[in-house]
Amino acid sequence: MDADSLPSGVGLATRSGKPAVDAVVVGAGFGGMYSIHKLTGLGLNVLGIEAGHDVGGTWYWNRYPGARCDVESMEYSYSFDEDLQQEWEWTERYARQPEILSYASHVADRFDLRDQILFNTRVASARFDESDDLWVVRTDSGTEVISQYLILATGMLSSANKPSFEGMDSFKGDIYHTGQWPQDGVDFAGKRVGVIGTGSSGIQSIPVIASEAQHLTVFQRTPNYSVPAKNRPLDPEEIAEIKAIYPEFRAANRQQSSGFGSLRPRGEVGALEVDAEVRTAEYERRWNVGGFDFLRGYVDLMINSESNQTAADFARAKIAEIVSDPETAKLLSPTQLIGCKRLCVDTDYFQTYNRSNVDLVDISERPLAFAKDGLVVGEDLTELDCVVLATGFDAMTGSISKIEIAGRGGVTMNDKWSAGPVNYLGLTIAGFPNLFTITGPGSPSVLTNMIVAIEQHVEWIADAVATQAAEGYKTLEATEVAESRWVNHVNSIADATLFPSCNSWYVGANVPGKPRVFMPLIGFPDYAAECDRVAQAGYEGFIRS
Ligand code: FAD
Ligand code: NAP
């Protein structure tokens, strides 16, 4: 890369003959976009590098039918700019993928972000050069850029998990992954379609594919819990009511463990402290409200398995009520605790199995393989024209591990994280100075409304960078002691809950060979307070030089 081939909004500077910037931000989803905006606002020269051809991240890649947010749109949006949040109009309670992508595009236009982003470019490696305390970032085309700061906004759910099923190469039809959906869409009309996977992506896409395809066969390894979204158009009056209190509403959401839902009361007692009748009525009420509210009725649902079972029983009874064929209903009924795998939110998911053009195939005990004409389970061939892999992501560490990152002494991130991710505050890694991860493992990340988590991270990083400059420091680096204390802290909180008990992607169980570690940190407000305390204490747990 020549300095003059940088995007037009990046200032021209060179170092050792290579282009040099103050910060490289990898990824142009909501994390990368806000990082670029915020750091540029500090007067830094910032270069964004994005593998896709435009902004949006998750919402750029996940264009599968039915893709939509399951945090409400008035909450799943940036809060950092009052004019932006007042002017943007969401149309539905839960925004569809195209609407969220338009919002990302609007933000990019509004803050002139595209001028600073190199699109269609993947960061392949990054090496910390100890001779001058700078990062040397290399792209997939082999060009290099030098930077003081390296921000990995590469996404927690951005590295597609594509299992290698036997015979996959022999299949004559097309294979699509939900997280790498063709830009021009897919026409399922008249097709026999197979979907593998019944997590959130499968559960959102299955009803829509069923309504378009000639026939749909769903291949399920583990049934999942799903609550109805109860999606609907937004009423202009309710939009106006929230906009009238937007700053207070956002602040209240930041005090919620999930980063949303402050207008809806949480339960204040344990599930077993009330009579069964009261409990069932409360579950019914929350089921009808729709969305994640269902799991907010009682304070101990994620810490007491007996309490959890009451909610799980209710959700299973709903499946039995909705699905007409008792055998199919049984197959769709999860046996694990509810909520320890990410709860799904759907529109007519279970109802879809009552359609005459939909079949469910259990693959929990018989291996699945591809054949020339379809998918084979045991001896049975299902003839298919195309297959959708709704098989999820190498979550939280996948996109970071695909970049060869070498810190002090040439130690690589992949070696350092070989037994699972370790870091301090979920933001920084000992031995990797001036490198920050956005919503990384060890932070609340995927357990919260992620835009809330992103804003908190970006603002903390920007404050740290500004403080460095003001106080004359060049590098900020976590100590190993602080890092190891943090890892213990994250684990001890997780171990006091039911979360680690399931084979979820939170623990890496969906990717064969991945170390089993509960990766996110539970509890957003306490976490944010600790980040602030660390900064106010003069960056406790960091070495500054
Ligand atoms: P991403 O949006 O994933 O962006 C990361 C970007 O980095 C990508 O564009 C990728 O191309 C780029 N990148 C990665 N590696 C490289 C590299 N080496 N070089 C260059 N570029 C690279 N969260 C919620 O809070 N609520 C929801 O309802 C919700 N729904 C979701 C639905 C789906 C289908 C998925 C997959 C996730 C959902 N999430 C949801 C999580 C979602 O990922 C976050 O809300 C948010 O969009 C993440 O933004 P990000 O910028 O951190 O990461
Ligand atoms: P996921 O939750 O990991 O689900 C993947 C599905 O594929 C599971 O049913 C899994 O079965 C199955 N699978 C994986 N490997 C398989 C294999 N080798 N053989 C057979 N089946 C296999 O992935 P996802 O649905 O893409 O969702 C990931 C996360 O993205 C969500 O949890 C959520 O955070 C986010 N998301 C959110 C929304 C939203 O509603 N807004 C939508 C989509 C995604 P097992 O359970 O047996 O592993």
Task: List the domain boundaries for the chain.
Answer: 13-159+395-467, 264-324
- What residue ranges of the chain have pLDDT lower than 70? 1-4
Protein residues with CB under 6 Å of any ligand 1 atom: 26-32, 49-52, 57-58, 60, 62, 67, 69-71, 76, 122-123, 153-155, 157-158, 179, 201, 399, 403, 438-439, 449-450, 454
For ligand 2, atom 16, the nearest C-alpha belongs to: 391
- How far apart are the C-alpha atoms of 545 and 542, rounded to whole Å? 10
Q: Give distance in angstroms: CA of 321 to centre of ligand 1.
A: 35
Atom of ligand 1 nearest to the CA of 158: 3
CB 60 within 8 A of CB 37: no
Which residues lie closer than 8 Å to 463 by C-beta, 6 or more apart?
A: 535
CA distance 475 to 124: 23
Nearest-CA residue for ligand 1 atom 3 is: 155
Give the residue whose CA is nearest to atom 44 of ligand 1: 450
Q: How high is the pLDDT of residue 488? A: 97
Question: Which atom of ligand 1 sits closest to the CA of residue 70?
Answer: 28
- Identify the nearest ligand to the CA of 390 by its number: 2
- 276: its two tokens: 């069964």
Here the tokens at position 109 are 């236009």
**Angle separating helix axes 305-322 and 276-289, nearest 10 degrees:** 60
In contact, 186 and 209? CB cutoff 8 Å: no
How far does residue 62's CA lie from ligand 2's centre (Å)?
A: 13
What are the phi and psi torsion angles at 247 (to 5°)? -60, -40
User: Quick one: how far is CA 439 from the chain centroid?
Assistant: 9
pLDDT for the residue numbered 370: 98
Cα gap 208→83, rounded to integer Å: 35
Ligand 1, residue 399: give the atom nearest the CA: 15
Q: Where are the alpha helices (DSSP H) in 381-523?
A: 398-401, 413-416, 450-471, 480-495
Please give the distance, rounded to the nearest whole angstrom, from the Cα atom of residue 194 to the centre of ligand 2: 15
Ligand of minimum distance to the alpha carbon of 505: 2
> Among the atoms of ligand 2, which is closest to the Cα of residue 202?
25
**Within 6 Å (CB) of ligand 2, which residues are found?**
69-70, 157, 163, 178, 196-202, 204, 221-222, 342, 345, 363, 368, 390-393, 446, 505, 510
Q: What tokens were used for 390?
A: 């709704």
What is the CATH topology of the domain spanning 13-159+395-467? FAD/NAD(P)-binding domain (3.50.50)
Cα(227)–Cα(311) distance, integer angstroms:
11
Q: Give the per-residue pLDDT at 4.
A: 67
Pocket probe for ligand 2: among 198, 209, 220, 221, the residue whose CB has the most ligand atoms within 8 Å is 221
Distance 31 CA to ligand 1 centre (A): 8
Protein residue whose Cα sits closest to atom 33 of ligand 2? 200
Does residue 451 contact residue 78 with C-beta atoms inside 8 Å? yes
For atom 15 of ligand 2, the residue with the nearest CA is: 391
CA distances from 272 to 46, 111, 277, 305, 499 (A): 53, 50, 11, 11, 19
Which atom of ligand 1 approaches the CA of 122 most closely?
19
Q: What is the reported pTM?
A: 0.98
